[in-house]
A and B are shown apart, each in its own frame.
Chain A
């Protein structure tokens, strides 16, 4: 009988896992090194605050995306949802705070229902969330037909905090990563949520409700999407129905860049935040320093993504091939 209970394969798995875990940090370090080389003056408190300006909402949106991906689903509506939250925050939340808060809580409820719908009717989440993306967009346009509105003062104040020594976006990213890590990777129910993505049959057989797990994952996506929209409008101070549209792809890219996989419940909150930071830095500061014209920046962004993902596949294959 062929049981391969041998030590070398074991150690090899360790190296592979280490590489896999380090890849997100390595790609971030690479991007920072490139920026430092191109423009040494960017390596300052002020420089990072500017470059990572939009990193907080991107990191939050990426974590939001990570929760659905943990359950083998995909949220194609997160971008327009973030835009909708921006519009709600810049209007209702400022004018009638209780109505705004209620609306945002309702959004999380809608997400939970979407999760239940996807599970109960066995629908592809891509279809459901693609449909929802038009719903969010339409609602945002109804609420704010023209760019405008104003973020509540307290929100602007939070996003404008200047802590000593470390730039605010870095502190915020660390907090977001820590919350995501403890919530999903260290709590006992987090293990069930991830297990439901890895082997749903086994989790159900052990007596857990997959419906509850799926609804919880979607609700978490909604919650982090709300935080992302609020953070975004706190930075930009006014809203626009199309403001978040790019976040759908950015967030998916961030999760994958951070070591997540589309199937099998394999995600990493810390990696996802690092992936989001990488995307935020590569998205515009790096390319601007490279003097790549804005017209080409989206394409260049895609190219960076392809290179990093190819490196990931290569590492995975080398490990399993031996």
Chain B
């Protein structure tokens, strides 16, 4: 491993768990001065957690973090800033109601006093001119009036500006996601120039061409570990993809394959097309099918599920859905459970028509429905009248599945519902989904766990909001999915 200079950041055996989920399982990584390190990995590989730890936003459970030659003990976001670590994360961290110059001021406490607006404006505009010549952004413009691409440019330029505190390491997490090919090229050229000037960079991108051409060194992450780290020249696209996935062969044809082939005469339940899909590729789901939606998180899978839901409710045209739908939310606390309600009420809410006695909900029927599902999918509780939050996370998720499956919906949309659910519960739910599919229900299943896709009859892979691949079960390997999820170049 050759390095440009002395190590600026050293991570030794860093571990981090969120509840039962182990996000990082002992990561060792050096980032030298004047070095650009690329980090690639599939969903859940631990890239973002690692970057958050570097930026001081998360504290590792175990391990050593040393920056500029000093071990960091009480490490925090402000300590990271003082040490010159800057981040550009995917979610924008600009104040939309402030001007470009004022946002620079928020970032640089040292800019104050007479003519602070002029100085802040000059600082950010000079950097914008340097990185993105011809950017067309004015210092007095409000962020809310800028296009998303320009906002991203301001956000990036701001991370590179220097007032009283130095910039030593810039963390770029998918910095080009809202930029076009031209501005992305300008950014990457600037990264190279800065690195040549002694700055360190870490770059996360799903566009492998960017990583290969910009980085000095590439670390490939999988399952919370760095599996390979080497000079960029040692990799090419194929070897990166191979390193990200497990080596495996396609599974032998099974019952589900035969069903997929035989099922092509079954009635179509859902026909949807992503909004920006350039070709004729539709997403089609037939009766009794389990259709997977794969790809990196946030590349349009949830949007498609929500569009399907809207089409079924008749809110939006442009899709064909010819049966009732139910959605199992991924973010349980925000979109799933009614926190004040009992387990029975949470399960029954989608089946109110059947639970009614006259004008009122029959508590007896509600409890009967809940109890039948409690037995069927083993929701671990003594009493279905207990509050839903008395259940563990996995059992809450089971209750949400029961809600969807108890309803009259023939189509079930699943928005990555297994996040943070323990393995045993997962197996139980997988079995349940297969049984229900055999009984004629259709499932659209967005998941960020490649392992789960093996339960699907067919899989659509998404990238940048469109479907880029359609894999039958027989063609389904992690490598194929990663290959489609990561673009070669712009």
Chain A residues at the B interface, C-beta cutoff of 8 Å: 1-7, 9-10, 13, 16-17, 186, 188-189, 191-192, 194-195, 197-199, 201-203, 205-208, 264-266
Contact = CB atoms under 8 A, between A and B. Distances in A.
B72 interface: no
Interface in B174-230: 176-181, 183-184
A17 B144 CA distance: 11
A121 B413 CA distance: 38
Given A17-B142, A191-B106, A198 B183 contact: no
A59 to B, nearest CB: 23
A202 B93 contact: yes
B95 A198 contact: yes
16 contacts: A4-B148, A5-B180, A5-B183, A186-B117, A188-B105, A188-B113, A188-B116, A191-B102, A192-B105, A194-B95, A194-B102, A195-B98, A202-B94, A202-B95, A265-B97, A266-B97
A191 B179 CA distance: 28
Given A195-B97, A265-B97, 6 more contacts: A1-B184, A1-B490, A186-B117, A194-B102, A205-B77, A206-B81
Given A188-B113, A188-B116, A203 B150 contact: no
A195 B99 CA distance: 10
Q: Is the interface of A mostly helix, strand, loop or mixed?
A: helix
B147 A195 contact: no
A7 B137 CA distance: 11
Contacts of A205: 77, 93
A3 B147 contact: yes
B180 A206 contact: no
A182 to B, nearest CB: 12
B147 A5 contact: yes
Contacts of B105: 188, 191-192
Nearest to A203: B106
A271 to B, nearest CB: 14
A205 B184 CA distance: 26
Contact of B97 (A5, A7, A16, A194): A194
Contacts, number: 96
A4 B106 contact: no
Given A4-B148, A5-B136, A199-B93, A207 B98 contact: no
Nearest to B98: A195
Interface of B: 77-78, 81, 93-98, 102-103, 105-107, 109, 111-113, 116-117, 136, 142, 145, 147-150, 152, 176-181, 183-184, 276, 464-465, 490
A191 B120 CA distance: 12
A264 B178 contact: no
Name, among B93, B95, B111, B147, the residue most crowded by chain A CB atoms within 10 Å (CB to CB). Answer: B95
A253 B96 CA distance: 23
Contact of B178 (A1, A188, A192): A1
Nearest to A267: B97
Contacts of A13: 145
A191 B145 contact: no
A146 to B, nearest CB: 46
Contact of B180 (A1, A191, A203): A1
B246 to A, nearest CB: 30
A55 B464 CA distance: 54
Contacts of A2: 180, 276, 464-465
B129 to A, nearest CB: 16
A6 B148 CA distance: 11
A194 B78 CA distance: 21
A207 B150 contact: no
B464 A1 contact: yes
Contacts of B465: 2
A203 B112 contact: no
A9 B147 contact: yes
B180 to A, nearest CB: 4
Contacts of B148: 3-4
A1 B429 CA distance: 37
A1 B97 contact: no
A1 B106 contact: no
A23 B216 CA distance: 54
B147 A4 contact: yes
B21 to A, nearest CB: 23
B56 to A, nearest CB: 9
Contacts of A195: 95, 97-98, 102-103, 106
A68 to B, nearest CB: 15
Nearest to B107: A206
A199 B96 CA distance: 7
Given A197-B97, A198-B98, A206 B106 contact: yes
Contacts of B78: 207
Contacts of A1: 176-181, 184, 464, 490
A17 B145 contact: yes
